[in-house]
Amino acid sequence: MLQYSAPTRISTDTQSMVTNMSESLTKLIVFTAPSGAGKTTLVKHVLSQLSNKVAFSVSATTRQQRSNEVNGIDYLFISREEFISRKENNEFLEWQEVYDGNFYGTLHSEIARIWKEGKAVIFDVDVEGAVNIKRIYGERALTVFVKPPSLETIRKRLMQRNSETNEMLEKRVAKAALELQYEGLFDIVLINDEIVEAKKNAIEIVCSFLGIENNNL
């Protein structure tokens, strides 16, 4: 069982939402991993190859925007006050407050937008968020845990970002060490040792789950 300082939180209207949409739900693919494992790179690759079948669920966050990120594309960057207001209005499917004091969450509106387009939803979320989504949607959701070859690889990748203080980097590495223990909670473990092979495997996994032909073979 996952043990975090912040308890799991799921909006109170989630169950009624699932019940009301029932059979009209399309599938959901959830990529999760510790920071630095490479899940974002793999998700972007899947989107580039299967954009007519899947669409990205943009998470909301209160953390600071990085120089290479686009608001509304990579994340929806909002203030802490706006996040709390939306949470109180039950606008989130799931949300959590992480170790750095920032909030992350999946908006109901993002999922509804993608379903309306007739596409499967693809997520790039942390381990706790992935567990929450799987708990809610069960077999409708496929969870893919992206595993780095070692914890040291994570440390090196985070250092290359050059976006963290030493203190924050060590917190991320410590959290990664914890999260790596829970790979057994997820449907598939995808080892990201060699990026070209990992991208190929990610496409194969998604195509198999959606029951579509893999034209990248």
133 in any annotated domain: yes
Number of domains in the chain: 1
Is residue 10 in some structural domain? no
List CB contacts of 170: < 8 A, sequence separation 6 or more: none
Following CA atoms 214, 186, 60, 119 in sequence, which dihedral angle do they give, to the nearest 10 degrees? 30
Q: Per the domain annotation, does 67 fall within a domain?
A: yes
What is the domain extent for residue 58? 26-210
CB 119 within 8 A of CB 7: no
Per the domain annotation, does 21 fall within a domain?
Answer: no
Q: Splitting the chain (217 residues) into consecutive groups of 10 residues, what average pLDDT does each group show?
A: 39 49 67 86 96 95 92 95 96 86 93 93 92 93 91 78 74 83 93 94 96 80
CATH number of the domain residue 177 falls in: 3.40.50.300
Q: Which two tokens stand for residue 140?
A: 């409708």
For the full predicted model, state whether its pTM sits above 0.85.
no
- Interval 139-166: pLDDT, tens: 999 999 999 888 888 788 777 776 667 7
Residue 6 lies in a domain: no
